[in-house]
């Protein structure tokens, strides 16, 4: 692998060639498509390691390079070993253009932010508390929805953080699955946070500024839908 690998690496690092890593031929194939079809494992390995190579581009047959790689991965042990070494799992349907490590960072930041917001909201209740320490609007239906949605959002965001931590210790395929699930939970956390915000605003404004509450509801509903 030595000489060929180095030659390909030098060629692909050339300024002119850098701009052609995702170029498509008449059949819609990228250099990665071609490398996999021609069983050029050295070139394929280098391209797979490059962040700027787009693995999601489809050829004229609506096949991505990862679709082609999956077939080779299942049939050829050498290709399977190469994929395992560089951390690429073509059988995974995850298509993040950013690497898994980068996705972990992004998801973690968003999850921490949502967890902080919802945790804080749980102790700064709409309307505050009375002299006995009880929530002023505890008997209101909107307040109950606020508490439930806020708690749901916080639990989802915390679970996302646990899954992200677990994804760091598993193999690529399991890590991809955990990140996929984390994305789903992160959306749930976001929806819960929005609902908590909507109902919190309604709880404190519906008597004197109902129109404001309606506007807030409308704007947040657009985001959720």
The residues, ordered by sequence, that sit 6+ positions from 73 with a Cβ below 8 Å of its Cβ are 79, 80, 83, 90, 91
187-214 residue pLDDT tens: 999 999 999 998 988 888 877 888 887 8
- 73 with 37, same domain: the answer is yes
pLDDT of residue 171: 66
Q: At what angle do helices 100-123 and 172-205 cross, to 10 degrees?
A: 30
Distance CA 168, CA 159 (A): 15
- Judged against a pLDDT cut of 70, whether residue 4 lies above it is answered with no
- Which pair of tokens denotes residue 34? 């071609």
Q: Domain range holding 176? A: 100-224
pLDDT of residue 3: 43
Find the CATH number of the domain harbouring 22. Answer: 1.25.40.20
- 157 with 130, same domain: the answer is yes
- Which pair of tokens denotes residue 135? 């929530």
Distance CA 97, CA 68 (A): 17
The residue from 58, 86, 114 where one domain ends is 86
117-145 residue pLDDT tens: 999 988 888 888 888 888 888 888 889 99
135 near 127, Cβ under 8 Å?
Answer: yes
pLDDT of residue 102: 78
pTM: 0.59
The answer to whether residue 63 sits within a structural domain is yes
């Amino acid at each position: 692998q030595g000489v060929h690998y180095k030659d390909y690496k030098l060629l692909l690092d050339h300024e002119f060639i850098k701009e052609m890593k995702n170029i498509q031929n008449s059949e819609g194939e990228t250099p990665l498509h071609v490398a996999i079809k021609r069983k050029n494992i050295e070139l394929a390995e280098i391209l797979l390691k490059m962040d700027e190579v787009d693995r999601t581009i489809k050829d004229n047959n609506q096949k991505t390079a990862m679709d082609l790689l999956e077939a080779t991965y299942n049939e050829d042990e050498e290709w399977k070993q190469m994929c395992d070494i560089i951390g690429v799992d073509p059988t995974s349907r995850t298509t993040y253009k950013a690497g898994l490590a980068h996705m972990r960072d992004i998801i973690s930041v968003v999850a921490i932010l949502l967890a902080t917001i919802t945790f804080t909201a749980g102790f700064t209740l709409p309307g505050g508390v009375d002299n006995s320490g009880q929530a002023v609007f505890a008997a209101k239906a909107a307040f109950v929805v606020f508490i439930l949605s806020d708690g749901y959002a916080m639990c989802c965001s915390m679970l996302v953080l646990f899954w992200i931590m677990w994804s760091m210790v598993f193999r690529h395929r399991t890590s991809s699955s955990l990140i996929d699930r984390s994305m789903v939970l992160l959306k749930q956390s976001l929806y819960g946070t929005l609902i908590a915000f909507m109902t919190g605003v309604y709880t404190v404004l519906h008597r004197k500024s109902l129109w404001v509450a309606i506007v807030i509801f409308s704007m947040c509903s657009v985001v959720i839908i």
